[in-house]
Amino acid sequence: MNVNPFPQILEYFSKKFGSLPEQLSVIFSNTAVRIVVGLCLVVLVTALIIAAAAVIFNAVLWFVSTWRMFRAAGEGGWKSLIPFYNQYIFYKITWSKTAFWVVLILSFGLGILNGIAGALFAVAFRSSIAAFFESAFDFAQATAQLGVNAGSIVSVAILYVFVIFVGGALFVLDIISRWHLSKAYNHGFWYFAGLIVFPKIFYYIIGLDSGITYTGNAAARKEKKEAAKSKTVPASGMILDEIRPEESVEPAPALVAAPEAYAAAPADPQDPGSAITPEDAPNDPENP
């Protein structure tokens, strides 16, 4: 069986509509059609130029934003220019290195599954399409050919279940990475929501912020949070270590001179009444 259906398709349409060059010559003989086609070409070229400019502008903003994020995290800005490696650094400074490898493996796995599923799909349905055109559009024969390829169709269905599962896992990981991006640069829930709804805009806002502040990746932020919990923070803002009961300081004893010291004190020669007697000395609370 010829599994290439395209000759039959071309033959069918040529019989129905005639030769394509002849049809085009008749259409473009009309001046109005030429004007409309010319205007369409001008609009198309203009749209392509605008799209190219938008792509270049978006790429420049992305590189500048990523460069500043890397510099704020203590990494070289030039690392943002290297494909794949810039993603590794991005996950390293916002989340963790492990997250990058998980995302990379799942992405490669998704590509492989899509490739296998697409190949099996082509094998299963291409022969059915060829049978459809070879039999003069006999749906019964095409359906019978699908039955012959039932095993391939089931395999395609199973593979696409895995594709959906892996794609869903990558989607969840992408949402989590946006949360870590928001927290790594000292932002909260609203920036996280913005990174989901308007990812490009809020990514550029974070990267181009003049007061960009880096607070660390997920592990560093967790350590800081645990360290803060182990400290006592009073109203004054000073961090004091907890005082253990066995380290409490006893009050110093009162320094009171013995009565004999007062008895030995001589009198002032110019003032005989200034001599201090033992009776004038203050009482010692421990030796009355």
Q: Which residues, at least 6 apart from 202, have a Cβ–Cβ distance to it below 8 Å?
A: 191, 194, 195
193 found inside a domain: yes
How many angstroms separate the CA atoms of 66 and 88, rounded? Answer: 12
252 found inside a domain: no
Q: What was the pLDDT predicted at 29?
A: 67
Q: What was the pLDDT predicted at 239?
A: 45
261 found inside a domain: no
Alpha carbons within 13 angstroms on the beta-carbon side of residue 146 total 12
Give the domain range for residue 58: 6-99+158-229
Run of H or E residues at 6 = helix 6-17
pTM: 0.61
Alpha carbons within 13 angstroms on the beta-carbon side of residue 98 total 3
276 found inside a domain: no
Q: Could you tell me how far CA 118 lies from the centroid of its own chain?
A: 30
Nearest to 159 by CA among 197, 120, 117: 117
10-residue mean pLDDT profile of the chain (288 residues): values are 55 62 64 81 95 95 94 91 92 92 94 85 66 54 56 77 92 94 92 93 92 88 83 49 49 53 53 53 52
89, burial (CB in 10 Å: exposed 0-12, middle 13-18, buried 19+): buried
How many domains in the chain?
1
How many angstroms separate the CA atoms of 104 and 165, rounded? Answer: 16
